[in-house]
Amino acid sequence: MTEKIRTGTNVFVYPMPVTLLGVNVGGRANFMALGWVTRVNAHPPLIGCGVGRHHYTVSGLKENQTFSINFPDASMIEKVDYCGLVSGKDVDKSGLFPVFYGSLETAPLIRDCPLCLECRLVQSVSFPTNEFFIGEIVESYTEEQFMTGGKPDIRKINPLLLTMPDNRYWVVGDHAGNAWSIGKQLVSR
C-alpha cells in the first residue's frame, strides 16, 4: 500500500481558473487576478468570488454592486499577472485593457477577453480574512471565433490555469473524454 503523506491544511484547488475580476472604483475600471471563483447556484445562475478583504476591488464592489468576470486567453499572461502584482490603490489599471459596458453600466468588461460575464452583486458572505461575493450573471459576451456549434469552446478561448503554492500558470491540454457519457459503461443495465 502506497504511503500517504500529510501536506497540511493550506491546499488549493488543482487547478484554479485564471480570471480578471473587474469593478469600477470612482468611475474608473480596475481589475484584479482572481482564481477563487465558482458557480454556486444553477437557477438563477449565481457565481461566487473569494476576495481578500484588503483588496481595492472591495470598495468598487460595494460602490456599484456590480462586477465582471473576464476569462483572458493565454497570450494575455503578462497583463493578467501584472493585475495580481499591483493594487489599484497604488496604480491606475484602467488603461490596461480596452473596456466596454453592458446593461449594468458599471461592470467593466474586457474587450480583449474571449469570454466575459456581467454580474450584479446579490449577496456577500464574510469569512475571517476574505469576503465571498455572490453575483447573478445577467449577461455574457464572447465572439463567433471562440465558439463551436453555438457553445464557447475552451480550445478556442485558450484560458490560463493556476496552481499554488508553486505559483505556475498552465494552459489546457487534450480532450480526455465526454462527461455524463464515458462512465456509462460502468452503469449496470
Site for a second copy in 5-44 (CB under 8 A): 5-17, 19, 36-44
Which of 20, 25, 26, 48 is close enough to bind a second copy by CB under 8 A?
48
Does 100 interact with a second copy (rule: CB under 8 A)? yes
Does 95 interact with a second copy (rule: CB under 8 A)? no
Does 125 interact with a second copy (rule: CB under 8 A)? yes
Enter the C-alpha cell of residue 186.
Answer: 460502468
Interface with a second copy in residues 50-69 (CB under 8 A): 50, 52
d(CA 118, CA 106): 10
Pick 62 or 156: Cβ nearer a second copy: 156
User: Applying CB under 8 A, what is the total number of residues that bind a second copy?
Assistant: 105
Q: Which stretch binds a second copy (CB under 8 A): 23-31, 57-65, 165-173?
A: 165-173
Which of 32, 61, 80, 121 is close enough to bind a second copy by CB under 8 A?
80
d(CA 71, CA 60): 20
d(CA 31, CA 157): 19
Which of 65, 71, 104, 108 is close enough to bind a second copy by CB under 8 A?
71
Does 154 interact with a second copy (rule: CB under 8 A)? yes
Number of neighbouring beta carbons within 10 Å of residue 36: 17
Does 99 interact with a second copy (rule: CB under 8 A)? no
Which of 26, 95, 144, 189 is close enough to bind a second copy by CB under 8 A?
144
- CA distances to 47, 84, 117, 154, 175 from 78, rounded to whole Å, are 26, 10, 21, 20, 26
List, in sequence order, every residue forming a beta bridge with 124; answer none if it has no partner.
133
Residue 59 φ then ψ, to 5° = -65, -40
Does 187 interact with a second copy (rule: CB under 8 A)? yes
| 8 Å CB contact between 37 and 185 | no
